[in-house]
Amino acid sequence: MFAGNFRESLLFNRAVLRQPIDLSAPDPEMLKTKREVSLATQTAAVRIKVAELAPRTDDSVVDRLMAKVAAIRRGEKVIENDPGDVAG
């Protein structure tokens, strides 16, 4: 659903930005609309890039936690400095 709506939004933005402007007598409302649409499109592009750069879920974190829980249940000490941990 989101992908379809997002695609329609980008196609609308593209259509608006491709509309020609008469530079001899530019329509201020159309210029304002094009400016707003271009800013919205840039914002969407940045959000997509940021989403792509977000760290992926790492199953090894879950595996490490489960191993620690199992060790605690066996009565073992589980204090260690792991470079992958961010707390500390």
Q: Which residues, 6+ apart, have CB-to-CB distance to 77 below 8 Å? A: 71
Residue 41 lies in a domain: yes
Count of domains in the chain?
Answer: 1
Cα separation, 4 vs 16, in Å, equals: 18
Residue 63 lies in a domain: no
Residue 11 lies in a domain: yes
pLDDT band at 87 (very low <50, low <70, confident <90, very high): low
C-alpha separations of 58 from 17, 43, 52, 54, 55 in Å: 40, 28, 15, 12, 8
Q: What's the pLDDT tens digit per position in 19-72? A: 888 888 888 898 898 889 888 888 888 888 887 776 666 667 778 888 888 988
Residue 75 lies in a domain: no
Contact 10, 41 (CB under 8 A): yes
pTM of the model: 0.48
Residue 80 lies in a domain: no
Residue 87 lies in a domain: no
Q: In the prediction, which pLDDT does 88 show?
A: 47
Residue 42 lies in a domain: yes
Residue span of the structural domain in which 39 resides = 2-56
Residue 66 lies in a domain: no
